[in-house]
Amino acid sequence: MALIKKLAGDTAVYGLSSVLGKVLNYLLVPLYTAVFAEGDYGIISELYAYTAFVMIILLYRMETSFFRYGAEEEGRQKVFNTALSSILLSTFLFTIAFLLLLNPFAELIKLREVHQPLLLVLIFIWVMDVISELPYARLRMEGKAWRFASIKLTNIGVNIGLNLFFLLLCPILLENNIGGVLLESWYNPEFGIGYVFVANLIASLTALLLLIPQWEGFKLSIEKLLWKKMFMYSAPLIIAGLAGITNEMLDRILLKHLLPYSLEENERQLGIYAACYKLAIFMALFTQAFRYAAEPFFFQQAKNKQAPDLYAAIGKYFVIVGLFAFLLVSLYLDVFQYFLRREGYREGLAVVPILLMANLFLGLYYNLSVWYKLTDKTIMATWIGLGGALITLTLNIWWIPIFGYMGSAWATFICYGLMCLASYFIGKNHYRLPYEWTRIFAYTILAVGIFFFHRNLLEQFLTGEILFLIRALLIFGFLAAVWFMEKKKLQALVRI
């Protein structure tokens, strides 16, 4: 139980930076959906979708290799030097190549000329974020969760502050003729969504500077044999990472190109989908915080004889917390919808419960995937990820022209669900974990049953405070049922 408590504690600290931080960042959604039209928000979402792909390519999962080969303190500096030197060199070469191909890329993605300067800002964001990733990984490996959290929160704080400054304060000052010629000399309201990326750029630079102490002892050197081992370990994970980003982000690229409307309307539909996707943020944030804490934890506990029981218990409790988040957001969706300030964005609220459950599957997949990392069978991540990417690509191409963004939501749900099944059935032949599937299924059926009972019956006949109260009772009933079933298990775990 002490080990589970340790993981829970680390998850809480990393959650302070990822969950609390992104919840703060999430508060920018009302700002964006109030200031920008749906089409403009669609462009922001599209460019950040490309960013996710580029980050995987530039980082090529060297942070995971660092966890694998830098787990022992002895030799960790050598591993860090090799990984970071490799990233610096490859990022430099990529930057030159991208600058040379900037215009052809802009034409390929149908980026309007007025928005093409944003690509220049993006490339500098990519560079700084990639260079920062290994120092962040070093903090996680050394157990400096609080420093990790403080830098992440500073980064997010700067980003939020600058967004408020550029998108709220400056227009007010300009409208009231405050600041005069000085303000007009550098602030251009026509730049619009560009200030979102400028704020990101400055925040990324701030984080990079704060991470300078983590460069201590760094020397620009690459040990060929070590690099080869690290790359061979991470190579399958690169493809798996690209496949994962395909599953997560490809819909926001394909919607613009596959919807059967004009370019402007396609961008508007993309903006609606992307904004509604943000309402599934709580599940995604919980999953991210869990992943930050769990990845080094799984490696560190690999030699523990009770590790399989720990991993299985962690998986079960992850699902329980995830189902609670699913119920909270789904049942109170009429409250959460007000984060989307313009009425037009709320057209897509039907995708939210689907995406919440999809992200729960994704988090469970991270837990199930521990087997291939601990047994060095990372090639299996490639095949599972590629299978998921193929499903995502096929279903989106098939369903977007017919069902629009609803097709993308269901494609995400089906993809992550099938990836969970594949990881479990393949993994049990390599590293068997005693998951309590009967209880996991029972809790899932209970939560989904509550959701459909609420949507198909309660919402049809009840309104106002009574409905609000009954929703709370339903959620409390779910938690009470879980506590009744898990009380003895938790007492037993205390004695481990």
In this prediction the pTM is: 0.84
Of residues 353, 377, 315, the one with CA closest to residue 455: 353
HSE-up of residue 327 (Cα within 13 Å, Cβ side): 27
Radius of gyration of the chain (CA): 23
Cα 429 to Cα 432: distance, rounded to the nearest angstrom:
6
Residues belonging to the chain: 496
Cα 411 to Cα 416: distance, rounded to the nearest angstrom:
9
In order along its 496 residues, the chain shows pLDDT tens digits of 555 555 555 555 665 666 666 666 677 889 999 999 999 999 999 999 999 899 999 999 898 888 888 867 677 889 999 999 999 999 999 999 999 999 999 999 988 888 888 999 999 999 999 999 999 989 888 878 788 888 988 998 999 999 999 999 999 998 888 877 778 888 988 899 999 999 999 999 999 999 999 998 899 989 999 999 999 888 877 887 888 889 889 999 999 999 999 999 999 999 999 999 988 876 777 777 676 666 666 666 656 666 777 777 888 888 998 999 999 999 999 888 888 888 899 999 999 999 999 989 988 888 887 777 777 676 787 888 899 999 999 999 999 999 999 999 999 999 999 999 998 888 887 777 778 889 999 999 999 999 999 988 887 777 778 888 999 999 999 999 999 888 877 666 555 5
Tokens of 483: 């506590």
- Please count the other Cβ atoms lying within 10 Å of the Cβ belonging to residue 493: 18
Contacts of 345 (CB under 8 A, 6+ apart): 33, 38, 41, 271, 272, 275, 276
Task: State pLDDT tens for residues 194-241.
Answer: 999 999 999 999 999 999 999 988 999 899 999 999 998 888 778 878
Cβ pair 268, 342 in contact under 8 A = no
